[in-house]
Structure 1
Amino acid sequence: MTIRIGVQIQPQHADYAQIRDAARRAEEIGVDVIFNWDHFYPLYGEPDGKHFEAWTMLAAWAEQTTSVEIGCLVTCNSYRNPELLADMARTVDHISDGRLVFGIGSGWFERDYTEYGYDFGTAGSRLDALGEALPRIEKRWSELNPAPLGRDGSGDIPVMIGGGGEKKTLKYVAKHADIWHSFSDVATLERKRGILAEHCAAIGRDVTEIEVSTAADTVEAAKPLHDAGATLFTYGVDGPDYDLAPLEKLVAWRDSVGA
């Protein structure tokens, strides 16, 4: 797969006008994907600082951008009924003319759960819930009218699953995902990709069909991850200023490799 560059515009410590401006600048720089994240409070910095909700923001980005893909890195499965989430995603997919990447994970930030009244459970129970939700989401997409547009009008919204659990998460990736987002270093990424290949082989799927995604702030960080099999690299940036200068270097590297 060709190298792609993403940016995660973290929706914290900023006014929405600053977030909107960052998304527009990122598209002008030439990124492939613009992500936010799905939380209700800042993950670092002032814990009660400014913060915005993810999916209403994605709907706005769908109108405020023209060519770049958009999505959550990643949606927390626990926060919305799977059927509702499927419908929300289909709607943003249509607003964006098929530019949505549907990122999803099992959830981990306990404060979100506590403050908003969700059952935090255990890591295992949250992963089990994700495994139950994924086929429900796919089934709802097949029933909605109008159907999803999907990337290039394929009708299939690309699914990104974030996480590295070897027994459950990677098994879900093998069965359901077009993109796997790993939070791993190089050695761990190589090992877990081998485990993902085993899960794929068990169901007759070619692991090379799955795009490998990870975080990278610099070209120097991205290169060894690329050697390990990653092709989608996302630079995370915090508000309120949203410094995108490192992103320009990543995009230039992508273009030089692809030339």
Structure 2
Amino acid sequence: MTQQKVDLNTPDGMGRLAALYRYAQVGRCVNGVAHDINNLLGAVLAYTELVQLEPGLTENGQRMLDNVLEAAEKCASLVSALTAIARPERESQDMVDLGALLREMSLLRDYAFRNGRISYELILPESTPSALVDGPKLRWIILYLLLNAEDAVADAEAGARIIRVELSSGSGGFDISVWNPQVTDLDPETVFLPLNTSRNTGLGVGLFLARDLAERIGGTLTLDPRKGFTVHLPGVSSG
């Protein structure tokens, strides 16, 4: 992939910046909308459970109500994942289930992966560890890496549209690796530079921001063509 430097003083650069600003304004609306959706979902779940208690409910009726509950619960999970990254930034240190966090972030891109015919694999250990870490910042790191991988394979042939995320033991902590076949073409020295991109519409800030966030939470973000982009988190408790 050929890297290019984005010049914000050109019409093309300003157009890319304007597009990014528009997306940011959508993010400002998410929390309020998500709050209302959660209230509506609460009513759906509560009334569906009440209907299930009605006598004379047929087996087919019970099955349909189970489907309603399953759909509402999945919708609630999506809203929860979305609000987790849409909250205003603040310093945070909590015990975070790394497996649950990765599943949550994967859920946000599930539709895009299916729609783009991208083969996605999430590899977790049998017992997923917990880390004392800034959860909101780690969520953004993972999301930036997933979006970067998605963009990288979007135009690849069907057999090369692959994204693999793996949580594994690292030196003095745990590693989260995000790999796709295109990483072998990247230069580890320049890939994290701001405004450096291989896309015709991107700004080239996602990887730069991801590495900055990784360092701010006491970790690192590196590129290894064999493993992909790897977030190292020190001092992890397997809890």
Decide: shared fold, TM above 0.5.
no
The structure that is strand-richer by fraction is 2
TM-score w.r.t. structure 2 length? 0.26
TM-score by length of 1: 0.24
